[in-house]
Amino acid sequence: MANVLVTGGAGYIGSHACKALAAAGFTPVTFDNFVTGWRDAVKFGPMVEGDLLNCTDVDAAFAEYKPVAVMHFAALSQVGDSMTQPGLYWRNNVQGSLNLIEAAIAANCKNFVFSSTCATYGDHDNVVFDEDTAQLPINAYGASKRAIEEMLRDFEGAHGLKHVIFRYFNVAGADPDGEVGEFHQPETHLVPLMLDAIDGKRDALTIFGTDYDTPDGTCIRDYVHVCDLIDAHVLGLNWLLDGKPSRVFNLGSGAGFSVREVIDRSREVTNRAVPIKEGARRPGDCTKLVSGSTRAAAELGWVPKRSTMSQMISDAWRWHQTGHYNS
């Protein structure tokens, strides 16, 4: 079975990728420094503990496993932190990716699937983003991901590195089998924080800003189920292995939900009250991020199956109540 090197395979999205890759007949090799990842989440293939900032670790992983492709998830990804600690984001995300790309080229592994973000687009008034929307990030996280996208293009030009770039909108939900799920410490994402507030693990969910230029004053995001997102990655990997050209795809459901709408839907799904507080805006937050995902559907044949808000909250709620990692 062909090996795929999955950086960040012990994280939320990477662990779901490993499960899907194994189901599709690949061997996922998790490469993770376990700063934000969990050993308990590595269930579907071998694990390499290493750091992308350490070239020896990266080269050793390619030498041992000879992967046919890389899926690169490992990154720091908190918009708020990226505003206060930009150096951390530029070093970890950009330098780490450069080390990985150079190691892949040296090992003649030239198929690269990259986890990028709609945060590379920034704020555009009332636009449904397509892949040609100008990339004008307003936070260091988005800027670091845009830089890596540019790096991939340069390395294709010079060294033939074929790549598929996925720009994610907001990922939510969990594996319906409950084998892996979302578990960050500290948690910053809306859905898990809200579920914590619902079952009393925190006092209340703070709504970050109620004075945005949206119908109810709260930010609008496009939520996509983690399993649907990963289905697209497997399609993207096969796209590259079939020799098709490098491509960028947005991954979202195309529907925007405000923070208040997500809260309302959670109340319906869990049949429990959601304690909330209204707070100030969080620096770096865009007003509205909604995807046009027609390209992924048309070219990859991607069909999201679980990306309704109710399904995402219901899968996240099941995992929240039954699943967690200890180490």
Site for ligand UFG (CB under 6 A): how many residues?
A: 21
β-pair partners for 163: 112
Sign of CA dihedral 5, 10, 13, 17: positive
Closest separation between CB of residue 318 and ligand UFG, Å? 19
Write the CB contacts of 254 (distance below 8 Å, at least 6 apart in sequence).
Answer: 128, 222, 290, 291, 292, 293
Q: Which residue has the tokens 């960040």?
A: 8
Closest separation between CB of residue 82 and ligand UFG, Å? 9
Q: Containing H/E element for 224?
A: strand 220-225
Closest separation between CB of residue 165 and ligand UFG, Å? 14
With respect to ligand UFG, which residue has the nearer C-beta, 189 or 318?
189
Give the one residue of 50, 285, 296, 319 binding ligand UFG; rule: CB under 6 A.
285
β-pair partners for 278: 207
Closest separation between CB of residue 297 and ligand UFG, Å? 20
Among the residue ranges 48-56, 91-99, 206-214, 299-307, the one whose residues contact ligand UFG (CB under 6 A): 206-214
User: Contact between 182 and ligand UFG (CB under 6 A)?
Assistant: no
Give the one residue of 13, 70, 219, 229 binding ligand UFG; rule: CB under 6 A.
219
With respect to ligand UFG, which residue has the nearer C-beta, 162 or 233?
233
- Sort residue 13 into left (φ over 0), alpha (ψ -120 to 50) or beta: alpha
Sign of CA dihedral 29, 189, 75, 122: positive
With respect to ligand UFG, which residue has the nearer C-beta, 52 or 79?
79
Contact 251, 296 (CB under 8 A): yes
Give the one residue of 31, 169, 239, 257 binding ligand UFG; rule: CB under 6 A.
169
Give the one residue of 42, 47, 69, 79 binding ligand UFG; rule: CB under 6 A.
79
Q: Which amino acid is at 228?
A: D
Here the tokens at position 170 are 């907001």
Closest separation between CB of residue 279 and ligand UFG, Å? 8
Give the one residue of 21, 119, 195, 234 binding ligand UFG; rule: CB under 6 A.
119
